[in-house]
Structure 1
Amino acid sequence: MTTPFYVSPQQAMADRADYARKGIARGRSVVVLTYADGILFVAENPSRALHKMSEIYDRIAFAAVGKYNEFENLRIGGVRYADIRGYSYARHDVTARGLANVYAQTLGTIFSSGGEKPYEVELIVAEVGSTTADDQIYRLTYDGSIADEHHYVAMGGNADQITEQLKRTHREGLPLDEALRVAVDVLGRDGSGEKRTITAAQLEVAVLDRTRSQQRKFKRIVGAQLARLLGEAAPAAEEPADTAADGAAADGAGEANGAAENGSTPKAEGSPEE
């Protein structure tokens, strides 16, 4: 009888962690940072269909790097959790901290299970407050660990180098255009410090804007508005930025959130498709 191959638990966990880290590092980075009026999300992502950042609830947004199908499943689960909790209790009971705890439990269970591979994802759950001091940013790794981040965070790709650059260039109270240029500048630098140009067409940008009059604070920045903030010439025949941004935000949690306001039962099938 052949002796079964033995791998120590420590080695098995180390191998799973190494597998997940390599998968995440292959993706392009995402930067999340605070600015004067809220929280800014910036990613190098030329796709207009496969989003790395999305609305979860009124004041909460989600960003991710790694395998799209895996973090999309987590995003949809987060939307359902938020809708049901907001309907069952109250809208202010849906918080980024509660959502981050749910994600941590899910990722931790998957990572420690020997029956399936670990998720190759890292997540950010952010909630904009009424003031800068109330903003919350949580980073979750593939093994379910949570970090409470302050002011800025980068994940995926060369995240360590980007974080070091953000330490030198980010400051509190930046206006939106300056914060965006800081994010694009650090995304355009590789590990050796060489700089490359990233255009508006290569970017996915969104904000949680505390100054918006409506209850939902998430907004995508696209088209002419994005080009203007970057100091580029606006593309011809571009869809108006506010229309495109509000349309994208209307996907997401809007359908189920509206059900909560109208007193109807939330539908899991109403989860957004970004």
Structure 2
Amino acid sequence: MTTPFYVSPAQAMQDRAEYARKGIARGRSLVVLQYADGIVFVGENPSRALHKFSEIYDRIGFAAAGKYNEYENLRIGGVRYADLRGYTYDRDDVTARGLANVYAQTLGTIFSSQAEKPYEVELVVAEVGATADGDQIYRLPHDGSIVDEHGSVAVGGNAEQISTFLDQRHRDGMSLAEALKLAVQALSNQTNGNDREIPAERLEVAVLDRTRPQQRKFKRIVGSQLARLLEQASDGPSKDESAEAAEPADGADEDAGEK
């Protein structure tokens, strides 16, 4: 009779964590930053059909790096949770903190289960408040832990290098154009010191804008809007100009979640 192969629980968890981290690192990086009027999501994404950023509820946005089919399942589950809670209780009862707890339980259960592989995803759940002090950003790694972030956060790809770049340069009260410029610089930054250029058509950009009169604060920035903001970033725009440029043009894509 052969002796069964034994792996210690600690080694098994370490192997699962390494597997998930390698899968996440193969994806393109994305960044989430606070700016004066809200929170901006920026990532390199050549696809116009498969989004990295989405709306979950009125003031809550979702960003993910890793395997698309896995984080899309999580996004849909989050939308259903938010819709059910908002309908059963009150719309104000749907919060980023509550959603992050739900995602943490799901990811933690999958990570610790030996019956299936861990999810190769890293999530960011953000909620825009009435003021900058009320903004919330939570990062959820593959193991289901929750990290409360402030100012800026990067996930996927070379996230550690990008996070260091952002920590050194991000400041409170930046305009949208300034935050966008910083995000693109961080994503373009290479380990060898030679920055690469990311064209506007390969960028996916969305914001949670607290100044919007609508109840839904999430909107995508595409086409001419994005081009104007990138141009303004080079010229040093005022806050008012940035807000005006970010207003959606006729027919702009605002569909970002299941409602």
TM range (shorter): over 0.9
Offset of residue 243 of structure 1: 3.5
Q: Write the distance in 1 (CA, Å) between the matches of 2:221 and 2:96.
A: 22
Kept after mapping to 1: 8 A contact 2:30/2:41: yes
**SS where residue 242 of structure 1 aligns?**
coil
Q: Write the distance in 1 (CA, Å) between the matches of 2:249 and 2:78.
A: 26
2:241 matched residue in structure 1: none
Q: Write the distance in 2 (CA, Å) between the matches of 1:130 and 1:241.
A: 21
**SS where residue 177 of structure 2 aligns?**
helix
Q: Write the distance in 2 (CA, Å) between the matches of 1:101 and 1:224.
A: 37
Deviations 1:93-131 (CA, angstroms, capped at 9, x unpaired): 000000000000000000000000000000000000000
TM-score by length of 1: 0.87
Q: How many residues align?
A: 245
**SS where residue 231 of structure 1 aligns?**
helix
2:236 matched residue in structure 1: none
Task: Flag structure 1 segments of 5+ consecutive residues without an equivalent.
Answer: 233-239, 255-274
Offset of residue 244 of structure 1: 4.4
1:76 matched residue in structure 2: 76
2:257 matched residue in structure 1: 252
Q: In the alignment, residue 258 of structure 2 is paired with which amino acid?
A: A
Q: Write the distance in 2 (CA, Å) between the matches of 1:161 and 1:244.
A: 37
| Distance 1:241-1:131 versus aligned 2 partners, 3 A rule | closer
Deviations 1:32-60 (CA, angstroms, capped at 9, x unpaired): 00001000000000100000000000000
Deviations 1:155-212 (CA, angstroms, capped at 9, x unpaired): 1111111111111211110110111000000100112232011111010000000000
Task: Flag structure 2 segments of 5+ consecutive residues without an equivalent.
Answer: 233-246
1:202 matched residue in structure 2: 202
Q: In the alignment, residue 80 of structure 1 is paired with which amino acid?
A: R
**SS where residue 13 of structure 1 aligns?**
helix
Q: In the alignment, residue 52 of structure 1 is paired with which amino acid?
A: K
2:126 matched residue in structure 1: 126
Q: Write the distance in 2 (CA, Å) between the matches of 1:68 and 1:44.
A: 14
Q: In the alignment, residue 22 of structure 1 is paired with which amino acid?
A: K
2:250 matched residue in structure 1: 243
TM-score by length of 2: 0.92
Stretch deviating more after TM superposition (188-197 or 128-137): 188-197
Q: Write the distance in 1 (CA, Å) between the matches of 2:44 and 2:213.
A: 29
**SS where residue 216 of structure 1 aligns?**
coil
Q: In the alignment, residue 79 of structure 1 is paired with which amino acid?
A: V
1:182 matched residue in structure 2: 182
1:53 matched residue in structure 2: 53
Q: In the alignment, residue 243 of structure 1 is paired with which amino acid?
A: D
| Structure 1 residue ranges (4+ consecutive) displaced by more than 3 angstroms after TM superposition | none
Kept after mapping to 1: 8 A contact 2:189/2:195: yes
